[in-house]
């Protein structure tokens, strides 16, 4: 098996070390060996992106449309193969992997359209004889640092708008999932991009990521990952005046009310707490239930959890794949242990599972009798572990839903228009779901949160233009 290389200045180049990409459903399966770049190669990639910027920023919207549209078409045509690669390297069930590849194809096509729809504003001046145009211009070189949980979709939703609006890109994917990023960049490399417009540098966050943060030539950094790393990104960017946006954690509440349609609530909570192994920043991790329906909800939730098929991501019918790696599994188990010690009661799950292949399988876990001030309700676990908090009323439930350092997504399950409308207005989150899972979003509308979940301009949809461009206000004297 050959080594998958970094892409720098239009050339595929060897790295300074090797990333062994292991299948978390079957640790004997080596997905591939990927080149890990060092700091010098990262610098070279940034220089290539800087050199490519002037010409790329002057391309016509139609040229950028054609390239992004072609990439989107190839991604859609190869969605089964890309989805399988994703499922193999990250552990998402195959159907979800294919769904994610499909979404990436749609994202490229959406932003192809955005390239030609870019607009400015014309205004009359407050002074006589003067016209004003407010126009958008690209930022320059953008550094994209991405996590492992959506290995195709997140690089796609950062790269596509960056390119659509005329920026050049250096992408650093998470070390656990270089394969998906490589595949997307390989497609882009044949879609007609001039040399240096997109660069891929795989490798360690502390080396490659840090080199991007510290480079004076990286004008903007878009980051998705943990809260701790997000703080480092912010610090480095503030120091040198670079623009940045951060998408970080969640501790998303799902508020189930007495008048909920219980099957809707159970299905939504099951999906958003445990599907994709709970490894979504939009996962529901705190399920807040009013007392009248609490016992019936827990009973139905546990019954549904018992039917979940936890298995190798490529196994037909798999609903929940493995945890992504040994380190994350240890983190999940650590929190299960903390929950027990804090006095929470494990209603179901939490134990390691053996399957036909040797992988990181964990039975999804549901804690009951928990309090919102417990550590398991304060900190993001990022695994298939959810808690139930019993409350007396809607008002108490809403207060607890909002009592968190995060604010990404919040769900309410009710047949009451009054409560649904009140929750939509008063939930302190960037995204609110009524009778829907907290996870699962569309690509053509903004994505992001409040408080500790996000910082800076929103991603995706038409709002993506905010981050990837800067405005220029042009005054002209017309005589
Ligand atoms: P996760 O727990 O999801 O892996 P991280 O924040 O550790 O979250 O990783 C998200 C991305 O940030 C990854 O691509 C990772 O390599 C990168 N990263 C980690 N440390 C740094 C750093 N010091 N500077 C820049 N990027 C980093």
Tokens of 306: 């018992």
Distance 458 CA to ligand 1 centre (A): 20
Class assignment of domain 3-248+453-477? alpha beta
Class assignment of domain 253-434? alpha beta
Residues 6+ apart with CB under 8 A from 394: 255, 257, 290, 419, 422
Strand-pair category, 168-172 with 6-8: unpaired
Among protein residues, the one whose CA lies closest to atom 9 of ligand 1: 225
Tokens of 406: 């995060």
Task: Mark whether 281 is an active-site residue.
Answer: yes
pLDDT of residue 115: 98
Atom number in ligand 1 closest to CA 203: 16
Provide the residue ranges of all domains of the chain, joining segments of one domain with +: 3-248+453-477, 253-434
Task: Mark whether 342 is an active-site residue.
Answer: no
CA distances from 442 to 174, 230, 337, 446 (A): 23, 24, 36, 8
Distance 227 CA to ligand 1 centre (A): 10
Asked whether the beta carbons of 283 and 252 are under 8 A apart, the reply is yes
Q: Is the CB of 209 under 6 A from ligand 1?
A: yes
> What is the distance between the alpha carbons of residues 190 and 56, in angstroms, rounded to a whole number?
16
> What is the distance between the alpha carbons of residues 184 and 78, in angstroms, rounded to a whole number?
11
Asked whether the beta carbons of 174 and 144 are under 8 A apart, the reply is no
Atom number in ligand 1 closest to CA 148: 3
pLDDT of residue 186: 98
Comparing CA positions, the residue from 135, 134, 137, 193 lying closest to residue 160 is 193
pLDDT of residue 20: 97
pLDDT of residue 479: 79
pLDDT < 50: residue spans in the chain = none
What torsion do the CA atoms of 224, 230, 236, 240 make, to the nearest 10 degrees? 60
Task: Pinpoint the alpha helices (H) of 37-78.
Answer: 39-57, 61-77
pLDDT of residue 1: 54
pLDDT of residue 123: 96
Q: Is the CB of 156 under 6 A from ligand 1?
A: no
């Amino acid at each position: 098996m050959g080594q998958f290389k970094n892409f720098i200045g239009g050339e595929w180049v060897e790295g300074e070390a090797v990333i062994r990409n292991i299948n978390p459903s079957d640790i004997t399966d080596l997905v591939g060996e990927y080149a890990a770049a060092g700091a010098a190669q990262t610098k070279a990639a940034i220089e290539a992106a800087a050199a490519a910027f002037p010409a790329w920023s002057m391309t016509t919207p139609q040229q950028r449309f054609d390239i992004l549209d072609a990439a989107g078409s190839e991604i859609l045509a190869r969605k089964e193969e890309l989805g399988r690669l994703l499922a193999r390297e990250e552990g998402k069930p195959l159907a979800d992997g294919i769904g994610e590849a499909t979404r990436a194809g749609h994202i490229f096509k959406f932003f192809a359209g955005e390239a030609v729809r870019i607009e400015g504003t014309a205004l009359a001046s407050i002074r006589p004889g003067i016209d004003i145009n407010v126009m958008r211009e690209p930022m320059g070189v953008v550094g994209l640092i991405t996590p492992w949980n959506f290995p195709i979709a997140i690089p796609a939703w950062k790269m596509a708008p960056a390119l659509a609006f005329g920026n050049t890109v250096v992408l650093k994917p998470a070390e656990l999932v270089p394969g998906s990023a490589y595949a997307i960049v390989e497609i882009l490399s044949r879609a007609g991009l001039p040399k240096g417009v997109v660069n891929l540098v795989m490798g360690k966050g502390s080396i490659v990521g840090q080199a991007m943060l510290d480079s004076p030539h990286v004008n903007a950094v878009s980051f998705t990952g943990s809260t701790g790393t997000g703080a480092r990104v912010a610090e480095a960017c503030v120091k040198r005046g670079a623009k940045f946006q951060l998408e970080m954690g969640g501790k998303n509440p799902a508020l189930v009310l007495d008048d909920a349609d219980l099957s809707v609530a159970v299905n939504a909570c099951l999906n958003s707490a445990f599907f994709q192994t709970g490894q979504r920043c939009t996962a529901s991790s705190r399920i807040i239930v009013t007392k009248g329906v609490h016992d019936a909800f827990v009973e139905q939730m546990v019954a549904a959890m018992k039917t979940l098929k936890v298995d190798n991501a490529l196994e037909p019918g798999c609903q929940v794949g493995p945890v992504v790696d040994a380190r994350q599994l240890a983190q999940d188990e650590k929190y299960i242990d903390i929950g027990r010690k804090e006095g929470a009661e494990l209603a179901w799950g939490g134990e390691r599972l053996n399957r036909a292949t040797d992988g990181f399988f964990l039975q999804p876990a549901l804690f009951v009798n928990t309090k919102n001030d417990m550590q398991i309700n304060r900190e993001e676990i990022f695994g298939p572990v959810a808690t139930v908090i019993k409350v007396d009323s809607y008002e108490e439930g809403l207060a607890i839903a909002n009592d968190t350092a995060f604010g990404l997504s919040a769900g309410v399950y009710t047949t009451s228009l009054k409560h649904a409308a009140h929750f939509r207005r008063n939930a302190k989150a960037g995204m609110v779901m009524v009778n829907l899972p907290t996870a699962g979003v569309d690509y053509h509308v903004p994505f992001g949160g409040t408080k500790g979940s996000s910082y800076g301009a929103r991603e995706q949809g038409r709002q993506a233009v905010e981050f990837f461009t800067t405005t220029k206000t042009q005054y002209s004297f017309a005589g």
